[in-house]
Structure formats: structure tokens, C-alpha cells
Structure 1
């Protein structure tokens, strides 16, 4: 009897931030479900800090040169990225050599687009190179044009980019709006496409129907494939019982949030979260709190411990009967809950894609990075939410937050938004289920790996 062919083995290497780890981990679980062996790769500091990697796949450690800290411990952002490239290249090379010598031969490396230097390591071993973009195709296209010198920064006038609507300067990512404030970030994001012609697969956490025109354009420039939405498949299949490793050590918080949500009426409450990095100053935090309070809606607000001091004095006591403020929650579980009626969000891409996948209308308050572009699409292209207006200094008022919440949940505009939200939810789920364009892209990728492994 012939020996059973070994499964293809992929190393999956996300950048060491929550918003990059989550989609790549969810994508990895999808690959594992299709028979691919996956080893997750991260840094020592990241592993010790997050401790939330899936039990369904092994984890290996490389070094970014800052094993006892992360970029915050470097003397500058330039120094961090430079040392990460040197130490990362060296230790990733040693890891591949170790795995190959111990019978766990590596066939492919799926790496975060922010770490373009990984491609040199991949090619030195003649492995399949798959770059993973964790942001929308629209934002990737903007950075592609910036990297090619086709968009002059800082952007001061309307911009026309193939596959996208005409964008105002304030619709562009903050690194492009104001590059002087983010010099290293702009270089890193623009460099994502520097050697894209040498990459075997370009994978993006989006789905075809959502960004059809820009995906078509990008696909003509590179081997671009939409593989999203990269969220836990069980939720998209209406199986919303949490996985064993979903809570990541936060079961008490998860239980308290779910118990509170279970007491609310269907589509009645507001969920507020600005992700793991976005920050508001004290004045904007107070405006947000005022808008939430004056909306008169029950709410669940995630306020990180580092941000709690910015809450208005007495806010927690005054709203205790109406709302709940927590330092963490399982966002996917909250968005999947029938009590949810509106999501006040910074419009990070993971949050946007998750809300879209569960048909949750949004109130967009972008803070930085790609969030401005995502908010533009939420409000004006996909029409599944409203964007909070800001003044000439970019600040918003509590009255506008309140107005948007009430319009989305009670106003005439809200009916159109709800209809669009449900339509996008159905498309997202169809993209992942049988025959969906996103799923077929994953199957195409898996088939190519199987062919390589068995040849």
C-alpha cells in the first residue's frame, strides 16, 4: 500500500498586533480545516503578551531583536523596523532549517504584507511565497499607488484611483493625509508592494462582491485573491457557540457581557468599541460619552484600562442602569447577538468586516490609519451606516454622536441602512459558503499547495 501523502506545511507569520494576528489566525484555521498543516510564527514578546494563539496549531518563536519588549522599547520606530528585519531574517531562517531537519518540511510561508523582508527568506529556500494583506483592497490600492509614486503626498486635493470612487483628502488613510506625522508608517505601508511581482500569491482579507471593481483592477496587476471575511467560520454558519480557545482567559468578562446582552430587547442596544490601538483625547472621550448617554439607548462600551481615566466624572454611576462599561469583550460574540442594533466604531478593518458579516449598522468615528477610508465606504459606498461629522479641526461633538445613533436605530435613514446591512451580511456569508467567490479562492490556494506537496 502506498504511503499516505503528507499534508502541505505552511508557516503563517502575522505582524505582532492584535488586528493583524486575528484575521491571519482565522484564515489559518480555515486552512487547517481543509487539511493543510499550519505552524503559527510570532515573536517571544508577542506570545507572552497576547497568549491567545489557537490550540489547533503549533506556535514557533522568532526574534524581532526586542525579546523583552516590542517597538515601544526601541529608541525609535526606524530602529525597531531595522532591527526587526535583521533579527527576524536570521531567526526565521534558523526556524525553517530546524523544521526541515526534523521532518516538518516547510512548503509555503504566508506572511504579513507589512514585513516585506520575509520574501527574501522565502525565496532563499525556494518556498511558495504568499503575502497576506489585513486591510481592505481599497486601502491596499491607495498604498500601491503611493508606493509607485502615482499619488503625491500629503494629499491636498481630490484623488481619483482606479477602481475607487473619487476620494477627498480626509477620506484617505492618515499616513497619506499627514505623512509628516507618520513618516515610518507611510514608508512601511508603501513598501508592501515593492517586490509584489516576485510573490506567488497575494491574499487579502476581503471578498469579491464587497470590492468588485477594485479587486478586478488589482487582479490585473498581481496574483490577487480575496479570501475573506477572515472571521471564525462557525459564526458565519450560524453556529455561535464559542470555541474552546475563544475567550483567551477572559471568561468572566465574556459571561457578564453575554448575561447583560441576554436581558436586552432585540436590536435595542448600542455597542461601542475603538479596538486595541485607537485613542481619543480626554475632550473627545467626554463628547463620545455624552452622545452615548443622551441617545437614551442601552449600551455596552469597551473602554481599555489605559483609557478609563478619560471617562467623565460620574459617568459610570449615572449610566449604570442603562449601560455597561467593560475593559474587554468577545467582539464577534457581541456582534452576533440579536440584541445589537448599532455599532459605534473607529472603523478598523477587522471591526468593519465583522459588523458587515453580521449585518450590524454602524456609526463611524475614524481616528487614524485606514479608518478614514473604511468609514467613507461604510457611509457612502456600502451605505450601511453614518459617519459622524467633524469640525475644521477634525473634532466631533456629542450631539452629532447622539444624532447618528438615533438616526441609525430609529430614523427613516435607518431603514435603508438596515436593509443594506442585511444584504451585505448575506453576501459575506455566501462568499464563505458553498460556491462563494472567497471560498473558491481559498480552495484554489489549497489545491496548489496540495499539488506542490504531492509532486
Structure 2
């Protein structure tokens, strides 16, 4: 039974018939309640009120209830019963078999049976009464001129209309209950009556996987069914890292499952210097059909409790998944992994190329001041240096593959039904206003680093996290430690590594340094990388340095001992630092990291920036200025105050009623609508 249909059916009939006033005297009012106590009792009280007002009343039971009434002393078919209430009783069959009455779903079975079998019997009963053949008593009943039905019995209104009899409905709930019932159809139209099923597919590297997974957790917390798709290579890597036993986080849970598709890359290609380019091209060739197959399979697995995929959420660099969504006939949404200003700048790479700003004429343009050329025409973005727009403007190649990929991927977002950004309105208000003029649906849901979903799957890491560093931090004074990490992709030369190491050593401050495998060119193993550290560095810093292969970065940044972050300015790291209220020293080197560091220093006032050519003296000086030592204490204090303010604004944005909380609500509603 569709409650919305019954409400609307009853509502229309009641409105159509209520202009026909009942007449007293020798005319019968026929009352038809749904055959359960919660409906019979109020209808019986109403019957007695009608009778006390001088109306003739015939009360309709199903035969089962009628027999039960007789067994308890009530007389059938006469003008009066044993209590002298003056109500005539009639009975019609409900169509249920004896075995169906004992079924576990008896209530629904009764409802379906009544709606299927009772209309004809009610029609016959009214016709019999109206032709003077009477009812079950000794004398005929006067004609029926009015039918009163309870909810769930709206078929009686249709029978009355067919026979030209006035009809009314006695609704058994409160007025607010009826009002809510009347809203059911509109709620269904808006998608509230079904559970959305989002299939999420990120580009298979940590910087894309982590924010996409955090968004998945938030969607799941809002009752969106989630299928999170990794590549088979990363899925197996995660299983090996977690002991090979199919860790519960990868098994998923009710409403949240993990799937995997092949990336098409050969093992020898994964170790190639251009492995990321190879992976990008291989995904475009290999993943489309498997993603379609996953989407179709997950809804057919199990016992039917999994709804069909209703939308696809993809990260940047996997725009081919837009075609997957089109093939499935569902909307697609893009979670772009950079800041809003980073996205706006990437969108304008094509115009920069067309206007002749890039590619560069020759290598001298990298150092002759050309990269300082002001760019003042990107909507919502303050005047910035050309070199800060993106690392890709530095190319000398007119056919630069990376530049064209960034152009195409950013502009492909126009094909999606919505753009999702890991930021919040107060942080980037001007550029968000400009983007909303260009894209009809922009959802700000960040910072995704905020502790909002408390999900079991959050924090999947492709590297083993060193938990001993947390014990080391526990022993350090509050705000004393500089945390140093350059993300999952940065590669530096041994000479740069040495310059950075000695700069950290000169600070005489404690620091936690993440040196992951692959950080140094040619060093795919952690021990190879640490062996590349300059002679004497470990002995010099042993008492105040902890070197980890990888760590739980959000946990580290929130630790009371951490007072500063030396970072590559990737957007995930930047937002995690903002959420922790930790000021930054920025050393950008790739993609949007330049514009992020520009905003960190100049727009938000929460950090410093190192020159592109790393020098140990500047490293040491910036650490001292940030951490409050030397003559730069006032500026360090100002940056810490600003960091605390942005942390509070981030918390307000993600709290109930905040801009990102509302943005997530709007996104979920759109996912439910399937538009």
C-alpha cells in the first residue's frame, strides 16, 4: 500500500464530497473502518455520535471481526445491539485464507487482501441496501446516502463515487500527522523516499584517495549507500600492509563497500620515472568497462538490499568516469582535489596558453623575472605572479602533455552535474563567488580534514604509519616541534636533501621529519633515502630529531607538541594544518602548490615561503621566525593567532548550520534526486 496514494485519494474525495451535507431521517450512513482496533474504535465512537444526532448508521466489519463480535454478545443485523446503541452491523469478506491470518506479515497481507477483495463486496452491499433488499436483519435498511471510510480504506470512496453516494473520510491520526502524510508524494518526488547510492572512484594516489574516502564517509553518515572503488593494485597493497587478512576496513560494512578494478599497468611500468603518466593513460584505456560492470553488479549482489547506483563521484584526473556515468544513465559529480583558487587557476591554463604566457620561450625565462608577470584577470583571484598560477606554466614544450591534461581535466568538470570542493566559504569567498557564476552547482564541503564522520574506513594509507613518533611527541614540550613532510609525490635531489637537513639542524629545535621511500631521486627504499642524509647529520640532531617513513599526519598536526609545519603546500596538507591551527613554512614545487602557498602567506597570514632554490640559512631563519625565536617573535605570534582564527572558522563551517554542513546537505539532497 502506498500511504501517499491513500492520503491523496482520500483527500481528493473528501474535498469533492464535503459539500454534500448529511440529511436526517430515513437515510443510512455507512461506516467502513480498516479492520483493526486502532481504526475500528474511533469509527465506532463516531458511529455512536452520529446515531445520537438522529442518523441511521450501518457499521461494516469484515466477517472475521463480525464473528468475533457475535461471540462476545453483540447481536447481528438488528436495529439495536445488546447495549442498545441502535447501530446496524453488516459484514463483508476480506479474502484472507486461514493460513494467511497466521503469517508473520499478517498486517500487510490483510491490507492487500482488503484492497483487492472488499470493493466488490461493498459495492454489492450498498446496491442491495439501496434497492430495498435490506441487510442482514429482519427488516430492510433505508437507502445509503453517505459513506464514511477510515484511512487505508480509500477504495470505499471510489465505490461511493461510482454509486453516486456522498463520501467522507475519518482520518485517525492527528492533524499534523495528516499534513505530513499529504507531503509524502512531494518528498518522494524530491528523492527522500529512496536511498541514494554513490559510486566513488578517485585517481589512485594518496592525495586523491584520502579526500575522496573522507567524502564517502560523510555521505554514508547521511544515509547514502557507498561503493568505493580502488584499483586492484592499491587494494592488494592495502591488504598486504594490513596483514593480508582482508581487514575489516576493506571489507566494508552495511551500506559501505569496497570494490576494485584493474588499472591495466604492467609491474615494470610502475617503477618507471614517468609511472604517473603511464598510470593516467592506462586508466583511460582500461577502467571504463570494469567500472560499469561494478556498478551493475553491486546492485544485483546479495538479497536486494543494495539500491542501484544513482550517481558517480570522481576525483580529478579520471574524467573518463564521466562517460561511465553517462552509460549508466546517472549523474556525475567531480570532487576536485585542490583549493578553489587552485581550481580557478587551472581552469585558466588554456587561456594562458592561448594568450602566449606559456610555454616559456627558453630556460632563461625561469630566472629572468618573467615568472613575476602579474596576472590580474582570473575572476575571484587577486593579482598573482604568473609563476604562482601553476607549476605547469613553467614548461618549455609547446606540446606539453601535463599542461594539456590539466587543461582538459579541469574543463571537463563542466560536463558534471556538480562540482564538489574541499574548502569552506569564509576561506575563499571571492573565488567561490566567481566559480558559482560559472558552474551552476558548487558544493563546498570542507575541510574534509575535520573530524566529522568518525568513519571506520577513514585514514587508509598506502604506507605503514610509524606510531612510535606519537610516543616521541608526547615527551616534547607544547608547541616546540617542527613537523616536516612533503607529501606522497615530492622528489628531491640528494643535494637539496642535504641543504634541508642542515637547515633543520641549525635551528636547534626538535623536529619530526617524514622521509618516505622515493623522496630522494633514485631512492625507492626508506633506508636508501636515510642513508643519503649528509654525514654527521644524524649524530648532530639525534637528541631532538625523529625520522619516520610515514605517519598519521592529521594526528601529528593535532598533537599539542607540534608548533609548525614545513610543507610542500599540497591542498590536503594545507587544510589539515588549518584544521589543527598550525602555521606553515611553504616550499611548493608542483601543480597548485604555488597558489596555495601564495594564499597561506599573503591572504590568510598563516605562514612563510621558502625560495625555490632551497638554502639552509633561509630554512633555519624561517623556522626561527615561525616558531617564535630570535627577533621575529611578533610575526610568529601573529601567524599563530591567525592560524587559531582560521581553525575556529573551519570548525564553524563544518558544525551544524555552518556553510560546509549546509553544502553537504545540499549535495546529499541532489544525490537523492538523482539529477
Mark the CA change 1:321 to 1:404 in structure 2 (over 3 Å): closer, same or farther: same
- The corresponding residue for 1:400 is 618
Secondary structure of 1:341's aligned partner: strand
Q: C-alpha distance in 2, partners of 1:327/1:84?
A: 28
- The corresponding residue for 2:83 is none
Q: C-alpha distance in 2, partners of 1:429/1:266?
A: 22
Residue 252 (structure 1) shift: 7.5
Residue 76 (structure 1) shift: 7.5
Superposed CA deviations along residues 299-346 of structure 1, whole A, max 9, x for unmatched, are 111111343233112322221111111111110001001111110111
Secondary structure of 1:311's aligned partner: coil
- The corresponding residue for 1:374 is 596
Q: In the alignment, is the contact (CA less than 8 A) between 1:74 and 1:80 conserved in 2?
A: no
* 1:278 maps to 2:493: no
Secondary structure of 2:397's aligned partner: helix
2:426 paired residue among 209, 213, 218: 209
* Most deviating of 277-286 and 213-222: 277-286
Mark the CA change 1:36 to 1:282 in structure 2 (over 3 Å): closer, same or farther: same
Residue 424 (structure 1) shift: 0.6
Superposed, which structure 2 residues align to 1:45-124 within 5 Å?
45-51=233-239, 55-56=252-253, 57-66=256-265, 68=267, 72=271, 80-102=279-301, 103=304, 104=306, 105-124=308-327
- The corresponding residue for 1:351 is 573
* Most deviating of 184-193 and 329-338: 184-193
Mark the CA change 1:262 to 1:81 in structure 2 (over 3 Å): closer, same or farther: closer
Mark the CA change 1:409 to 1:182 in structure 2 (over 3 Å): closer, same or farther: farther
Q: C-alpha distance in 1, partners of 2:516/2:279?
A: 25
* Most deviating of 363-372 and 172-181: 172-181
Q: In the alignment, is the contact (CA less than 8 A) between 1:45 and 1:67 conserved in 2?
A: no
2:359 paired residue among 151, 154, 157: 154
Q: In the alignment, is the contact (CA less than 8 A) between 1:175 and 1:182 conserved in 2?
A: no
2:409 paired residue among 192, 195, 205: 192
Q: C-alpha distance in 2, partners of 1:443/1:402?
A: 45
* 1:131 maps to 2:334: yes
Q: In the alignment, is the contact (CA less than 8 A) between 1:247 and 1:330 conserved in 2?
A: no
Figure out how many residues of one structure are paired with residues of the other and give that number: 443
Q: In the alignment, is the contact (CA less than 8 A) between 1:45 and 1:68 conserved in 2?
A: no
Q: In the alignment, is the contact (CA less than 8 A) between 2:210 and 2:459 conserved in 1?
A: no
- The corresponding residue for 1:295 is 507
Mark the CA change 1:396 to 1:249 in structure 2 (over 3 Å): closer, same or farther: closer
Residue 180 (structure 1) shift: 3.2
Q: In the alignment, is the contact (CA less than 8 A) between 1:292 and 1:402 conserved in 2?
A: yes
Higher relative contact order (CA 8 A, sep 6+): 1
Secondary structure of 1:11's aligned partner: strand
Residue 110 (structure 1) shift: 0.2
Q: Which runs of 5+ in 1 are unaligned?
A: none
Secondary structure of 2:575's aligned partner: helix
Secondary structure of 2:625's aligned partner: helix
Residue 201 (structure 1) shift: 1.0
Q: In the alignment, is the contact (CA less than 8 A) between 1:300 and 1:324 conserved in 2?
A: yes
* 1:19 maps to 2:207: yes
- The corresponding residue for 1:332 is 554
Secondary structure of 1:163's aligned partner: coil
Mark the CA change 1:327 to 1:77 in structure 2 (over 3 Å): closer, same or farther: closer
Q: C-alpha distance in 2, partners of 1:216/1:84?
A: 33
* 1:41 maps to 2:229: yes
* Most deviating of 77-86 and 367-376: 77-86
RMSD of the alignment, in Å?
2.7
- The corresponding residue for 2:387 is 170
- The corresponding residue for 2:530 is 308
Q: In the alignment, is the contact (CA less than 8 A) between 2:506 and 2:620 conserved in 1?
A: yes
Mark the CA change 1:5 to 1:224 in structure 2 (over 3 Å): closer, same or farther: closer
Mark the CA change 1:50 to 1:319 in structure 2 (over 3 Å): closer, same or farther: same
Residue 70 (structure 1) shift: 6.2
Mark the CA change 1:66 to 1:316 in structure 2 (over 3 Å): closer, same or farther: same
- The corresponding residue for 2:469 is 257
Mark the CA change 1:268 to 1:243 in structure 2 (over 3 Å): closer, same or farther: farther
Q: In the alignment, is the contact (CA less than 8 A) between 1:137 and 1:204 conserved in 2?
A: yes
- The corresponding residue for 2:11 is none
Secondary structure of 1:266's aligned partner: coil
Q: C-alpha distance in 2, partners of 1:252/1:193?
A: 32
Q: In the alignment, is the contact (CA less than 8 A) between 1:26 and 1:232 conserved in 2?
A: no
Q: C-alpha distance in 2, partners of 1:71/1:182?
A: 24
* Most deviating of 152-161 and 200-209: 152-161
Q: C-alpha distance in 2, partners of 1:322/1:425?
A: 28
Secondary structure of 2:473's aligned partner: helix
Q: C-alpha distance in 1, partners of 2:267/2:511?
A: 38
Q: In the alignment, is the contact (CA less than 8 A) between 1:43 and 1:67 conserved in 2?
A: no
Q: C-alpha distance in 1, partners of 2:567/2:422?
A: 19
Mark the CA change 1:165 to 1:293 in structure 2 (over 3 Å): closer, same or farther: same
Secondary structure of 1:321's aligned partner: helix
Superposed CA deviations along residues 53-79 of structure 1, whole A, max 9, x for unmatched, are 664531111222226576556988666
Secondary structure of 2:499's aligned partner: helix
Secondary structure of 2:547's aligned partner: strand
Mark the CA change 1:92 to 1:424 in structure 2 (over 3 Å): closer, same or farther: same
